[in-house]
Amino acid sequence: MNPETKLIVGRIGAALLGLLLLTLSMLVYQEINAGLFEETAHRLATSFNEYSGSLAQR
């Protein structure tokens, strides 16, 4: 292998590794956001239930 070929192979490898890291970071970000969304929805539902319960008692 001449130096130019090694450089090309190295760049392709670095690009593939970068794409892999980007994909993994996007998956982690998606999981974190899904958890936050689920927690927020649960909080909203709980507070709405408490509010409607207090209205029903009046």
Q: Summarize pLDDT for 26-57 with one digit per residue, the tens.
A: 988 888 777 777 778 888 888 888 887 877 77
Distance from C-alpha of 52 to C-alpha of 37, rounded to nearest angstrom:
22
Report the mean per-residue pLDDT for the chain.
86
Does residue 19 carry a pLDDT above 80?
Answer: yes
Distance from C-alpha of 37 to C-alpha of 45, rounded to nearest angstrom:
12
Residue 15 CB: number of other CB atoms within 10 A? 10
Query: At 13, which amino acid appears?
Result: G
Check: pTM over 0.95? Answer yes or no: no
Q: What pLDDT sits at residue 57?
A: 77
Helix (H) or strand (E) segment spanning residue 2 = none
Average pLDDT over residues 10-15: 95
